[in-house]
A and B are shown apart, each in its own frame.
Chain A
């Protein structure tokens, strides 16, 4: 048991937690934009899958991981546009249409993989990037400053998004579209444009999240995300629809996963409790969600299509 409480274990777990958290963080951040504006997109996982394949395929063909990331983002953007058309213009039932997008992404990503690639072929991954000086701090450096550029940018997106949502006119319009769309409309805010914008942002971030996952792993296979998109949606609620909150949620989920893995490696967790331990991330997140949900509420216009005059 004393093996658990060592600096080495802590360093390993935190590093792993950060890597596991980043795809969730990006996808959840994108979904936060959407939900704050009143649009629920349950198709996040499908967008992540197509983003993952696109990113993977682009790297496979070009050898350039950054082109892969861009490709993933563009595909996500396109799917975000589709989501916007369906939810905002066509005013479809958002829950159902989101599931449709998920199924589309699941099937299409696998179809494309089977037809264009076939057997899993490894690709290059993101090059490591140690932050000068900070990376040399004992233990802290290894935990936080010896990752790659994508991880740093993902975490930088949190305060950036918090600023956008809370301190800019655009952010105010997003919040207004999600809380009081009728009032915002009378004041000249185009609810349609705002929701389109948030769906594009959400799609782009979800696609990028998938691309980050595939390129970080250096491989693609069927259902690579393993439902991460749905966890990302849950994290939006966990985080109280706030970027910092969802970051903490993603880190908690990643941390518990990483800790369970480490405890299994150290054989601290008995084999017969392994299944129970595997549920720990979900259980802890649900418990935390139940606690947090009392303090925050969803945007009042969430899932409600907007029609002027109604």
Chain B
């Protein structure tokens, strides 16, 4: 079956979720770093709007992804040394942490600023906490530092994938490209 994972291969669902979320998170990180440095303008406001709704999309998708992950076998990493397997698995779970922590801390910031998130004009999310300037600053700090940690882990993950593909010439990266 092409959709589900097998002992050695990722299924189509896992692959599609991986790349959609990779694109979203790279885009959100770039947008986030850029928009916070902009002076106030219509463009800045538009960027914040996109950052919030696509961030919430990540939160929705990670719930689907985690459910899929827990109900599926995970392809083995037997071919690599135990420490590499441990490192790879730790990085994967770190990403699940980021995929939840980034949108939730972002939602907390915008709640504390009393600027609720509209999800592509379809509905407006409730505020998680009451408006409070000190809390807004606090959540912003957490969001930023979790974001920097995400960038560090992203670099490790990408470097490892490229190393396996170009230096070890194994199938680690290729099996995430096509089932």
Asked if chains A and B come from one complex, the reply is no
